[in-house]
Chains A and B, each alone.
Chain A
Amino acid sequence: MSKNTVSDRFRKVDVDEYDENKFVDEEDGGENQGGPDEAEVDTLLRQGNMNGALHAVLMNPPINTKNQTTKERAELLVVKVLSSFKSSDIEKAVGSLDKVEVDLLMKYIYRGFEKPSDNSSAVLLQWHEKALAVGGVGSIVRVLTARKTI
């Protein structure tokens, strides 16, 4: 029996990284995606145009970019907009979104759940219920299977 007296650091090597057939996601040029326009959203919020702010914040999602700060900024902005709605208005607001926007909203909601702050989870839960009624479980499945996350 040979004793392994040499270092065993090789066991910590991740061999899958060196597999030439390793599946790599397609790189899509996302450098120009800055996320929703903060200034525009803030103006709309101050004017009291809630639905407008919602549509504005759901535009230009930072899906393709790898920049984590952009994604976090977008998420905080979305949570801010969602929190400024009155509970009774949520249903109508969700009703004004199209299919793609509902899916996007679901993605932001779940991302918001990951990092709860203050009252955000309660608000997000209300939005989740309304978005689920419109998008169905299919929209949640699309959150889970999306390769490019916001």
Chain B
Amino acid sequence: MAYHSFLLEPISCHAWNKDRSQIALCPNNHEVHVYKKDGAKWSKIHELKEHNGQVTGIDWAPDSNRIVTCGADRNAYVWTLKEGAWKPTLVILRINRAARCVKWSPKENKFAVGSGSRLISVCYFEQENDWWVCKHIKKPIRSTILSLDWHPNNVLLAAGSCDFKCRVFSAYIKEVEEKPGPTPWGSKMPFGEMLFESGGSGAAQTAGGGGGWVHSVCFSHSGNRLAWTSHDSTVSVAEGGKTSTVNSLSSETLPLLCVTFITENSLVAAGHDCYPVLFVYDGAKGSLTFGGKLDIPKQAAQKGISARERFQNLDRRASETQSTEKDVNTLHKNSISQISVLEGGRNQCTKFCTTGMDGGMCIWDVKTLASAMKDLKIV
């Protein structure tokens, strides 16, 4: 696995360009830095300075090569590359709290911004006035939107919120697209219509739906499955059409902050435990199981301990062993906050990337992981 330490500060968010030669990230301040791969090194080539508050979300549209950023200053900017420099265009979001996350739609003609104003701003470009206009999705969101993900049909939008629910909305904008065909999530999709809400009535006191903030949502490649992670250490999957049953798994780990599908049946999630974890979803049985911890631990060399060291350890930490179990022997030294698929898409992912609060970025190779961990099954 390739681990590169960019900074000492946390990486708030990151986004890759189309050929994965450049990465845009926010070094926990008001700016966005763009790094270019230079053999084995990364060199900073651009600094995008326009925000007045911390940049909370970055997304890079692969085909149209535009970057959209959103920040705690309640603004979003669309950056286009002109003559070798990135030029910002302000987007009026009409929100009165910080923006938290932003995502381009698959066709890149719209983007959605989640904010602390308890609403989602869906923005599209209005040709006649040459500016970005936004429409709001408000009901029935009751708290901050923490994460967004678009369905492949460019219309449906999943939103994870601090009111403990994960929802699917329609973000159909008639000015920029045709009416969408029916999907397993529903067929009537006017703008703002909610097609799915997790934790609906009938959810027993078993895990899922009701415990924690929804940190991250992700549609599968086909769009038929939706996965989300929640702050009560659960990960859940819902299938369009069978939304009465949501399958959740209460994990034994600390809460997971980000999740992505790597095949139609496998998810990788990561969070406060500093290592990515694999989950396998069985559609036929409707079950979600823990697949394995995806981190190759460093070979802990347990050399013989001298008597002096043994007594020193006893004195210091009441244990004779060299290292306590709490030693961080994972690649990331702090929580992983974002995960992105690099190669292969969400149905045949071969490489994915994680960034975290340790300022480092790690690129994971799925084949290497599968061969290193023999019981790992990526279906």
Give the interface of A toward B (CB within 8 A).
21, 23, 61, 63, 99-100, 103, 135-139, 141-142, 145-148
Complex contacts, A139 vs chain B, CB 8 Å: 250, 252
Most buried by B among A23, A135, A138: A138
* Interface residue B251 (Cβ < 8 Å from any Cβ of A): yes
- B142→A21 contact, CB < 8 A: yes
Given contacts A61-B205, A138-B250, contact A147 B210 (CB under 8 A): yes
Q: How far is the CA of A23 from the CA of B233 in the complex (A)?
A: 22
- A100→B207 contact, CB < 8 A: yes
Complex contacts, B210 vs chain A, CB 8 Å: 147-148
Q: How far is the CA of A100 from the CA of B204 in the complex (A)?
A: 11
- B252→A142 contact, CB < 8 A: no
Complex contacts, B253 vs chain A, CB 8 Å: 136-138
Q: How far is the CA of A47 from the CA of B206 in the complex (A)?
A: 31
- A137→B164 contact, CB < 8 A: no
Q: How far is the CA of A64 from the CA of B51 in the complex (A)?
A: 45
- B118→A103 contact, CB < 8 A: no
A-facing residues in B115-168 (Cβ within 8 Å): 118, 142-143, 163-164
- A138→B205 contact, CB < 8 A: no
| Chain B residue at smallest Cβ distance from A24 | B142
Q: How far is the CA of A116 from the CA of B163 in the complex (A)?
A: 33
Given contacts A142-B232, A145-B211, A147-B211, contact A135 B252 (CB under 8 A): yes
* Interface residue B10 (Cβ < 8 Å from any Cβ of A): no
* Interface residue B57 (Cβ < 8 Å from any Cβ of A): no
| Chain B residue at smallest Cβ distance from A150 | B205
- B255→A141 contact, CB < 8 A: yes
- B211→A138 contact, CB < 8 A: no
Complex contacts, A146 vs chain B, CB 8 Å: 211, 232
* Interface residue B254 (Cβ < 8 Å from any Cβ of A): yes
- B207→A103 contact, CB < 8 A: yes
Q: How far is the CA of A141 from the CA of B250 in the complex (A)?
A: 10
Q: How far is the CA of A103 from the CA of B207 in the complex (A)?
A: 9
* Interface residue B33 (Cβ < 8 Å from any Cβ of A): no
- A103→B250 contact, CB < 8 A: yes
- A99→B250 contact, CB < 8 A: yes
Complex contacts, B143 vs chain A, CB 8 Å: 23
Q: How far is the CA of A142 from the CA of B233 in the complex (A)?
A: 7
- B252→A23 contact, CB < 8 A: no
* Interface residue B292 (Cβ < 8 Å from any Cβ of A): no
The residue from A21, A61, A138, A145 contacting B251, defined by CB atoms under 8 A apart:
A138
| Chain A residue at smallest Cβ distance from B254 | A137
* Interface residue B231 (Cβ < 8 Å from any Cβ of A): yes
Complex contacts, A142 vs chain B, CB 8 Å: 207, 211, 232-234, 250
Complex contacts, A135 vs chain B, CB 8 Å: 252
* Interface residue B212 (Cβ < 8 Å from any Cβ of A): yes
| Chain A residue at smallest Cβ distance from B230 | A145
The residue from B118, B212, B232, B255 contacting A21, defined by CB atoms under 8 A apart:
B118
Q: How far is the CA of A63 from the CA of B205 in the complex (A)?
A: 8
| Chain A residue at smallest Cβ distance from B231 | A145
The residue from A21, A63, A141, A147 contacting B233, defined by CB atoms under 8 A apart:
A141
Q: How far is the CA of A135 from the CA of B210 in the complex (A)?
A: 19
Complex contacts, A148 vs chain B, CB 8 Å: 205, 210
Q: How far is the CA of A87 from the CA of B164 in the complex (A)?
A: 38
Most buried by A among B206, B207, B210, B233: B233
Distance (whole angstroms) from the CB of A98 to the closest CB of chain B: 10
Distance (whole angstroms) from the CB of A32 to the closest CB of chain B: 14
- B118→A138 contact, CB < 8 A: no
Q: How far is the CA of A3 from the CA of B208 in the complex (A)?
A: 55
Interface string of B206-219 (1 = CB under 8 A from A): 11001110000000
Complex contacts, A100 vs chain B, CB 8 Å: 205-207
| Beyond A103-B207, A142-B250, A146-B232, 9 additional pairs, beta carbon < 8 A | A100-B207, A137-B254, A138-B250, A141-B233, A141-B254, A142-B233, A145-B212, A145-B232, A147-B164
The residue from A61, A63, A138, A145 contacting B252, defined by CB atoms under 8 A apart:
A138
Q: How far is the CA of A80 from the CA of B217 in the complex (A)?
A: 43
Complex contacts, A141 vs chain B, CB 8 Å: 212, 231-233, 254-255
Q: How far is the CA of A138 from the CA of B252 in the complex (A)?
A: 4
Interface string of B182-199 (1 = CB under 8 A from A): 000000000000000000
Q: What are 11 A-B residue pairs whose CB atoms fall within 8 Å in the complex?
A: A23-B142, A23-B143, A63-B205, A100-B205, A100-B206, A100-B207, A137-B254, A141-B255, A142-B207, A145-B212, A148-B205
Complex contacts, A138 vs chain B, CB 8 Å: 233, 250-254
| Chain A residue at smallest Cβ distance from B213 | A145
Distance (whole angstroms) from the CB of A71 to the closest CB of chain B: 14
